[in-house]
């Protein structure tokens, strides 16, 4: 029996009487593309926060491959290969894209602690950072500070930072959020070209993206997993239509 790249068991979280996660059991096999959908307030981002360690669960366990990571700090989970991107751009405004990705690379390679050698001396890290930016077609503007980049480019930089950590499991929180039509093609090709060695779980509201890329869809409502299945199964399910595609409020 093959081990999932990422799995959770019995994950619970409440804020007082507000239940944001209830008995979440998730299994993400290696190399797969799963989508997590649900109405606003269903607890999708909360789940990502629980998995990455930004939020502590009341109960439950989280596994990366065979090892349990429930007790690890967020940065330790990243070192184990579990990485996320943010729904709202969480970047370094005054660092150039090159510097930002180089920082992530240096952290991974353990160079970030050294203060007696200048950054350009770590040629391998710089080359790797540049290569990542090239693969995401950000190389042309990588010398400019992040706040000067177009919104779509910033979304790509979000992903670049995640890729720089060489993840085994990648959690994308609404990667296409707010990206205008003209720039989204770029984003989609990046997602499509993500290495098959990475398992991806992405939250999305844009059903085009979901049906295009997901091998399997998980539907969350009110902190619980309602059901999971292939895109065909989900599209046909009356419950999902009722809760999300049909009657649910958006925004």
Partner 1 sequence: MVTSSAVAEPQRYLEAQIRWRPVEIAFWLATLLPFVLTPNYLVLASQIAITALFALSLDLILGYAGIVSLGHAAYFGFASYTAGLTARWGWGEPLTGLVIAAAAAGVLGYLTSFIIVRFRHLALIMITLGLGLLLAEAANSASWLTGGADGLQGVRMWKLFGVFQFDLYGTTAYTYSLAILFVFFLVARRLINSPFGLALRGIRENAIRMPAIGAPSPAHIRKVYTIAAVMAGVAGALLAQTTETVSLETLSFQRSADVLVILILGGAGRLYGGLVGAIIYMVARDQFSGINPQYWYFWIGTLLVAVVMFLPNGILGGAARLVRSGRSRA
Residues that bind partner 1 (CB under 8 A): 52, 54, 73-75, 78-79, 83-84, 86, 90-95, 98-100, 102-104, 106-108, 111-120, 122-123, 125-127, 129-130, 140, 142-143, 161-162, 164-165
Beta carbon of residue 164, minimum distance to partner 1 (angstroms, whole number): 7
CB of 166 to partner 1, least distance (A): 10
The DSSP secondary-structure symbol of 96 reads B
Q: Least distance (Å) from partner 1 to the CB of residue 90?
A: 5
Q: How many CB atoms lie within 10 A of CB 161?
A: 22
Percent helix, strand and coil across the chain, each to the nearest 5: 40, 25, 35
36/217 Cα distance (integer angstroms): 6
Q: How far apart are CA 94 and CA 68, in angstroms?
A: 37
Looking at the Cβ atoms of 16 and 113, the one nearer to partner 1 is 113
Whose Cβ is closer to partner 1: residue 5's or residue 164's? 164
Beta bridge partners of 171: 84, 201
Measure the CA–CA gap between 173 and 201, rounded to whole angstroms.
9
User: Which residue, 16 or 116, has its beta carbon nearer to partner 1?
Assistant: 116
Residue 60 or 81 having the CB closest to partner 1:
81
């Amino acid at each position: 029996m093959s081990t999932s790249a990422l799995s959770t068991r019995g994950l619970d979280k409440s804020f007082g009487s507000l239940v944001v996660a209830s008995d979440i059991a998730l299994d993400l096999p290696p190399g797969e593309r799963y989508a997590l959908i649900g109405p606003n307030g269903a607890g999708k981002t909360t789940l990502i926060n629980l998995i990455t360690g930004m939020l502590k669960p009341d109960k439950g366990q989280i596994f990366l491959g065979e090892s349990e990571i429930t007790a690890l700090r967020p940065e330790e989970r990243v070192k184990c290969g579990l990485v996320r991107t943010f729904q709202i751009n969480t970047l370094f405004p005054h660092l150039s894209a090159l510097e930002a990705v180089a920082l992530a690379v240096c952290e991974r390679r353990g160079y970030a602690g050294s203060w007696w050698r200048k950054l350009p001396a770590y040629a391998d890290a710089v080359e790797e950072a540049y290569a990542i930016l090239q693969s995401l077609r950000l190389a042309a503007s990588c010398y400019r500070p992040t706040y000067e980049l177009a919104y779509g480019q910033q979304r790509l930089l979000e992903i670049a930072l995640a890729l720089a950590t060489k993840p085994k499991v990648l959690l994308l929180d609404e990667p296409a959020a707010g990206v205008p039509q003209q720039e989204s093609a770029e984003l989609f090709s990046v997602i499509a070209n993500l290495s098959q060695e990475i398992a991806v779980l992405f939250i999305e509201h844009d059903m085009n993206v979901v049906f295009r890329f997901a091998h399997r869809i998980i539907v969350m409502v009110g902190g619980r997993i309602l059901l999971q299945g292939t895109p065909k199964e989900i599209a046909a399910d009356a419950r999902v239509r009722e809760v999300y595609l049909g009657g649910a409020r958006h925004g």
